């Protein structure tokens, strides 16, 4: 394969009409240009330029090569421009993955705003709780709720996820209100599949950290569905305020043992570590940060 840089030099010479002029434009010496052309001619096995000290003229081979070289130069400059623009301006396709509950309740509703703010961005949002392969599937950003994000990723903490022990008033009427964490053992504790240690709920209370063994008749891998189950009066669960904030306000759910704080989880926006984060990713994360804030809107008056 040819050394394409020679094509570039050749194109410059042709458009300049002289070696010296081309050399000045490219800020290299005349001899460098001379050697480049000679090398190109040698490697192609064809004379490209007939030259005396004063006059240059293209051979037929030179003429066709000049055309191709100009195209190449063009294409390269264009490529450089579009990549730069893609990098510097928020535009293009943004592939996002978000977990089911949070994605549905808070990411998806926010996208309209985001897209109208950045009209050149398009979004491909995948809602799933399954672990995704950022590299293989080509995601720009994934939004996950977890207490310990993947160490191989850049994880931007968007907001804390506060959780509360909730059930319906009806449930408490029937089964009593637990006064201490230990009382939970007597209750139907609905569990979130992906939470840390199975079978235990951990709290930080007045006495420090405690682990309460719990058991229940239902386990779901989605916070929103879990909330629905609790709303149906099935039992008690540790529910994030981002799903049940309204229900707590409206009284459809009731929180108990509020002085015992479950291990805090966070909403993270994660992306691949790279020195070169495209503008679309930066602006998306900044938008989310602004939208969700340090004290998320669903917690503001909870």
Partner DNA sequence: CGCATTGTCAACTCATAGGAAACAATATAA
Partner DNA sequence: TTATATTGTTTCCTATGAGTTGACAATGCG
Q: Which residues here bind DNA, judged by CB under 7 A?
A: 3, 18-21, 23, 27-32, 34-39, 51-56, 152
Residue 193 contacts which entry, DNA, a copy of itself, none (Cβ below 5-8 A, type-dependent) = none
Distance CA 271, CA 150 (A): 10
Give the nearer residue to a copy of itself in terms of CB position, either 62 or 245.
62
CB 45, min distance to DNA, A: 16
Distance CA 190, CA 163 (A): 13
Can residue 185 be called a binding residue for a copy of itself (CB under 8 A)? no
CB 133, min distance to a copy of itself, A: 7
Q: Which of 35, 79, 200, 249 binds a copy of itself (CB under 8 A)?
A: 79
Residue 164 contacts which entry, DNA, a copy of itself, none (Cβ below 5-8 A, type-dependent) = none
CB 283, min distance to DNA, A: 26
Residue 130 contacts which entry, a copy of itself, DNA, none (Cβ below 5-8 A, type-dependent) = none
User: Within positions 250 to 289, which residues make up the interface with a copy of itself, using CB under 8 A?
Assistant: 272, 274-278, 280
Residue 217 contacts which entry, DNA, a copy of itself, none (Cβ below 5-8 A, type-dependent) = none
Residue 30 contacts which entry, DNA, a copy of itself, none (Cβ below 5-8 A, type-dependent) = DNA
Q: Could you please report the per-residue DSSP string of 225-274?
A: HHHHHHHTT--EEEEEHHHHHHHHHHTSSEEE-TTSEEPPEEEEEEE---
Q: Which of 28, 32, 72, 115 binds a copy of itself (CB under 8 A)?
A: 72
Give the nearer residue to DNA in terms of CB position, either 61 or 111.
61
Give the nearer residue to DNA in terms of CB position, either 35 or 157.
35
Give the nearer residue to DNA in terms of CB position, either 30 or 219.
30
Site residues for a copy of itself per CB under 8 A: 1-5, 7-8, 26, 41-42, 44-47, 50-52, 55-61, 64-65, 68-69, 71-72, 75-76, 78-80, 82-84, 86-87, 92-93, 133-138, 140, 272, 274-278, 280
């Amino acid at each position: 394969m040819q050394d394409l840089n020679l094509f570039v030099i050749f194109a410059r010479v042709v458009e300049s009409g002289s070696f010296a002029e081309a050399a000045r434009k490219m800020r290299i010496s005349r001899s460098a240009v001379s050697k480049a052309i000679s090398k190109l001619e040698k490697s192609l096995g064809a004379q490209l330029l007939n030259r005396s000290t004063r006059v240059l003229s293209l051979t037929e081979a030179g003429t066709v090569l000049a055309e191709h070289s100009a195209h190449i130069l063009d294409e390269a400059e264009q490529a450089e421009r579009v990549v730069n623009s893609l990098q510097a301006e928020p535009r293009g396709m943004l592939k996002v993955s978000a977990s089911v509950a949070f994605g549905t309740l808070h990411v998806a509703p926010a996208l309209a705003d985001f897209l109208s703010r950045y009209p050149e961005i398009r979004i491909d949002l995948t809602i799933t709780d399954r672990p995704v392969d950022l590299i293989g599937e080509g995601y720009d950003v994934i939004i996950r709720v977890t207490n310990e994000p993947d160490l191989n990723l850049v994880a931007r903490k968007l907001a804390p996820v506060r959780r509360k022990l909730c059930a319906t008033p009806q449930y408490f009427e029937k089964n009593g209100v637990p006064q201490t964490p230990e009382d939970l053992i007597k209750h139907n504790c609905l569990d979130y599949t992906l939470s840390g240690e199975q079978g235990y709920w951990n709290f930080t209370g007045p006495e420090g950290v405690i682990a309460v063994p719990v058991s229940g008749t239902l386990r779901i891998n989605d916070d929103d569905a879990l909330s629905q189950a609790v709303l149906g009066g099935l039992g008690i669960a540790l529910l994030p305020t981002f799903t049940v904030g309204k229900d707590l306000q409206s009284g459809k759910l009731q929180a108990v043992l509020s002085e015992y704080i479950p291990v805090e989880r966070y909403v993270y926006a994660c992306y691949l570590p790279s020195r070169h984060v495209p503008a679309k990713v930066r602006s998306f994360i900044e938008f989310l940060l602004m939208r969700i804030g340090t004290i998320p809107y669903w917690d503001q008056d909870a």
